[in-house]
Amino acid sequence: MASRKLLLGLTAGRRLRSRTHQLFSVANLLEASTSHSPAAAVASTQPSGGSPAALLFSLRTISSTRQATQSAGDASGRSAVDHKLIMPEDEFHKLADETIHDLLEKLEEYGDSIQMDGFDIDYGNQVLTLRLGDLGTYVVNKQTPNRQIWLSSLVSGPSRFNWDAATNGWIYKRTRANLVQLLEEEIGELCGTPVELS
Amino acid sequence: MMLRAAGKRLLGAAAGRQASPAGAARRGYHERVVDHYNNPRNVGAFDKDDPDVGTGLVGAPACGDVMKLQIRVDEGSGRIVDARFKTFGCGSAIASSSVATEWVKGKQMEEVVAIKNTEIAKHLSLPPVKLHCSMLAEDAIKAAVEDYEAKKAKLEKADEDGTPAGAIRTT
C-alpha cells in the first residue's frame, strides 16, 4: 500500500486519458497476499517507450481510474464506485473545494449567529468537521478516487455524493438528495434555527 | 503474541495517530473493533463457482477499502449456513465485515438484507468518519445475497432449457 501511495504521489500531475480496459481484478488483489501492484495490461494511451515514467503512468491509471469496472459482479451498482470517472482530478478538486469552503464559511457565520453551546467547526487536512455539542458530529470530506464528497451525518448516517452537472450540485444517487440541501434541512432542524447554505 | 502486541499498539497508536480531522478529542478504537482485529471471525473464502455460494465484492482499492463477503446457502431452506470474508482496509472496515459474517450465519436471506449499517456501527461504536465502513459491510451482505440469487436463477433457467447439467454446474 505504501508503494502504491508513493507512485500516486509521483505521478500526481498527469492527466488520465485512458478509458478502456479493466486493468486488474479486485478479486486477484484479495487472493494474492501481497499488496504489490499486479502485472496487468497497461493503458492504451500510455506514453511510448519502456521508460519508468510509462510504468508509473500506467500504475497510476490502474490505481485511479477504472474503479467502475473493478467492483466485480455487482450489477446493482451497490459498490462504492459504480460510476464512470469522467471528471479530471483537478476539476474535481476545484468543484469539491469550492463546495466545502462555501459550507465552511456559511456554517461559521451560522454558528456565530445562533450562539449554540458546543457548536464547533473545524477544517483541517481538507476535512470539515462540525460538532454540535452533545448531539454529535458531522464530517464532510473529499473522496478523490471516486470523485465524490463523503458525508457522515449524525441524522442520516454515511452518504456519498457525486457531482451532477445538470443540477449544479452534489447528489447522492440512492436517495437523489442534494448535499447542501440535506445539510440545510438537518442542521436547521437540529439547531432549531433555519440555515442557508447555498 | 505479536498480534496482541499489534492490537495494543493499535489501541494506543490510534489515540494519537488517528486522523482526527480537526485535531478533535483523541479517540481510540473501541474494544470490540480491536477484538475483531485480533480475533477476526470467519476469515477465508469459499469456491465462488460453488452453486451454494454467493459472493459480494464491494469497494475499490484506491479508496483504501475492499470487502469480499461470501455466504453459503442451504438450498432447501434458504438459510445461510456459513460465511467468510476478506477485507482490505482499516480496522473499522475489517471489524464491520467480520461482524457482518457473524450476523448472517443461521439467518434467512430475506432477514440479512435487512441488516442496517447503523446497527453494525452502533455495535462497534464507530466514530463518524468510520460510518462509511459499516455502510460498505451492509452493501457487501446485499451483494452476496444478490449474487447467490442471480446464480440460482441462471442455473434454474439452464435446467429448464434442458442444458446438460454438467455444462453449468461445477461440483
Q: Which residue of B has its CA nearest to A156?
A: B118
- Backbone torsions φ then ψ of A143, nearest 5 degrees: -120, 90
Residue A13, number of CB atoms within 10 A of its CB? 7
Tell me the three-class secondary structure of chain B, residue by residue.
Answer: CHHHHHHHHHHHHHHHHCCCCCCCCCCCCCHHHHHHHHCCCCECCCCCCCCCEEEEEEEEHHHCEEEEEEEEEECCCCEEEEEEEEEECCHHHHHHHHHHHHHHCCCEHHHHCCCCHHHHHHHHCCCHHHHHHHHHHHHHHHHHHHHHHHHHHHHHHHHHCCCCHHHHCCC
- B68 and A30 in contact by Cβ < 8 A? yes
Cβ proximity of A190 and A132 under 8 Å: yes
Pairing type for strands A119-124 and A177-178 reads: unpaired
CA dihedral (B55, B145, B138, B30) positive or negative: negative
Active site residues of B: 63, 133
Distance in Å, alpha carbon of A181 to nearest chain B alpha carbon: 20
Please say whether the beta carbons of A28 and A37 come within 8 A. no
Q: In whole angstroms, what separates CA B78 from the centre of its chain?
A: 19
- Compute the half-sphere exposure of residue A7: CA atoms within 13 Å on the CB side of its CA: 20
Q: Which residue of A has its CA nearest to B87?
A: A30
Handedness of CA A65, B69, B134, B127 (dihedral sign): negative
Are A71 and B134 inside 8 Å of each other by CB? no
Interface of B with A (CB under 8 A): 19, 21-24, 45, 48, 55-66, 68, 86, 88, 117-118, 121, 127-129, 131-132, 134-136, 139, 142-143, 146-147, 150
Q: How many CB pairs under 8 A join A and B?
A: 122
Q: How far apart are CA B27 and CA B125, in angstroms?
A: 11
pLDDT at A30: 52
Give kind and range of the element (H or E) at residue A138: strand A136-143
Q: What is the CA radius of gyration of chain A?
A: 20
Work out the average pLDDT over A49-57.
46
User: Across the strands, what pairs with B83?
Assistant: B71
* Three cell numbers written together for A38: 499486479
With a CB cutoff of 8 Å and minimum separation 6, the contacts of B136 are: A80, B58, B59, B65, B67, B93, B96, B97
Determine contact, residues B104/B115, Cβ cutoff 8 Å. Answer: yes
Task: Note the pLDDT tens digit of each residue in B32-81.
Answer: 999 998 898 899 999 989 999 999 999 988 778 899 999 999 989 999 99
CB contact under 8 A, A129 and B22: yes
The letter for the amino acid at B32 is R
CB contact under 8 A, B60 and A143: no
Interface pTM (ipTM) of the complex? Answer: 0.70
CA distances A192 to A95, A132, A197, Å, are: 30, 12, 15
Which chain A residues are within 8 Å of B23, Cβ to Cβ?
A: 122, 124
Contact B124, B81 (CB under 8 A): no
Name the residue facing A124 among B22, B55, B129 (closest C-beta): B22
Tens-digit pLDDT profile for chain B (171 aa)? 555 555 455 554 444 444 444 444 456 788 999 999 889 889 999 998 999 999 999 998 877 889 999 999 998 999 999 999 999 999 999 999 999 999 999 999 999 999 999 999 999 999 999 999 999 999 999 999 999 999 999 988 888 877 555 555 555
Note the pLDDT tens digit of each residue in A91-104.
999 999 999 999 99
pLDDT tens sequence across A147-158: 999 999 989 999
Cα–Cα distance between B80 and B58 in angstroms, integer? Answer: 20
Contacts for A94 with CB less than 8 Å, ≥ 6 apart:
none
